[in-house]
Amino acid sequence: MNHTKNERLLTIANLNLKYGSKVVLRDINLDIENIVRPGMNQGQVVALLGPSGSGKTQLFRCIAGLNAQTSGTIQLGTTQVPARAGDVGIVQQSYPLLHHRTVWSNLMVAAKPKHGAKAELEATALLNHFGLVDKKNSYPIELSGGQRQRIAIIQQLLCANHFLLMDEPFSGLDVIAKARVYDTVRSVTTAHELNTVIFTTHDLESAVHLADEIWVIGREQGKEGSTVRARLNLIERGIAWSQSPQNEPAFWPTVQELHELFKTL
C-alpha cells in the first residue's frame, strides 16, 4: 500500500494515573502519526480495547483534557501542545443534542466560538460531506439514530481540533447499523487529512473491521494498573482501507489473536 507517515498528531508519554493509592494506568506510551496517501485525504482511526475496568474511559478523559494524569504528558496536533478541555471532541453513546433547537442551531452553538464569521461555511461543508443538508431545519426528535450520531459528530468536529473520541459506537447495534457506523467514521476521516478518530469497543470484529491500528490495554500479572499490552498495525496486515476487510486473509486470525490476548488481561 502506497503511504507515508509525517507529522506526529498525538504523543502519550510515560502517563500514569492514580486515585489515592489505587493505580489505574501505568507507564502508558502511545502515539499517532499522520498517514499520507497520494491523491486522497486519509485520516487516522484507532481502536482502544481492554476489559471492563481496565481504565479505557480514564485514558479517554485524559486525552480529552478532562482528567489530569498523575504524571506524564499528552500532546496533541501537529504543534504538539498539551491536551486541553475543548480541543478533542467526544461523541457519547446518547448523542446529546439540544432538543429545543434545530440541527442548524445546534451546529451554530458549536461552531461560532471557534470559527466566528466562517461558522456557517464550515457547518454547511460538513453537512454536505455527510449528506445531511436536507436535515438542517429538523429537530433532533425528527432524526433517526444514525442521523443523530452523524449530527453529533459534525457538532464535535466544528468545536474541536480534528480529534474525535467515540465511546462504544457499536453498542446494541445490528449488522446493518454497524455498517452505517463504519461508513460514518470513514466519512470523518476523509473530510480532512488530520481528522483522527479514537474509539472504544468490546466488539473485537468491529475494531478489526474499522481501525488502522488497535491499542490494547490491560493488567499484567502481579502488577497494579493497566498498561499497553499490544499495538496491532492493521495497515501492515493488509486489513485497513480494504473495501471488504472481513475477506482479507489476516482478518479472522487477527480477531482470534485479540480473543487469545484478552484471556491474559
Q: What is the pLDDT of residues 148-195, one digit of tens each?
A: 888 988 888 888 878 999 988 888 778 888 888 898 899 889 888 999
Cell of 204: 473485537
pLDDT at residue 133, rounded to an integer: 93
Question: Residue 171: CB partners within 8 Å, gap ≥ 6?
Answer: 93, 201, 202
pLDDT at residue 153, rounded to an integer: 85
For 254, half-sphere exposure in the C-beta direction (CA atoms, 13 angstrom radius) is 31
CA distances in angstroms from 90 to 9, 113, 222, listed in the order given: 17, 17, 34
245: exposed, middle or buried (C-beta count within 10 Å: 0-12, 13-18, 19+)?
A: buried
pLDDT at residue 94, rounded to an integer: 67
Q: What is the mean pLDDT of the chain?
A: 92
pLDDT at residue 1, rounded to an integer: 60
CA-CA-CA-CA dihedral for 189, 190, 194, 196, to nearest 10: 0
d(CA 256, CA 21): 36
Q: Give the confidence band of 115 by pLDDT, cuts at 50, 70, 90.
A: confident
Q: Which regions of the chain carry the CATH code 3.40.50.300?
A: 4-87+162-262
Q: How many H helices and E strands in the chain?
A: 7, 10
* Cβ neighbours around 21 below 10 Å, total: 6
The residue whose grid cell reads 500514569 is 16
Percentage of the chain beyond pLDDT 70 is 98
Task: At 204, give phi and psi (nearest 5°).
Answer: -65, -35
Q: What's the average model confidence in pLDDT over 86-90?
A: 87
Q: Give the confidence band of 205 by pLDDT, cuts at 50, 70, 90.
A: very high
CA distances in angstroms from 216 to 66, 114, 151, 248, listed in the order given: 22, 34, 29, 22
pLDDT tens-digit series, residues 212-265? 999 999 999 889 999 999 999 999 999 999 999 999 999 999 999 999 999 999
d(CA 130, CA 68): 34
pLDDT at residue 34, rounded to an integer: 94
Q: Tell me, what DSSP letter sits at residue 220?
A: P
Q: What's the average model confidence in pLDDT over 80-101?
A: 84
Global pTM reads 0.89
pLDDT at residue 249, rounded to an integer: 98
Q: What's the average model confidence in pLDDT over 15-39?
A: 95
CB of 113 closer than 8 Å to CB of 159: yes
CATH for 4-87+162-262 is 3.40.50.300
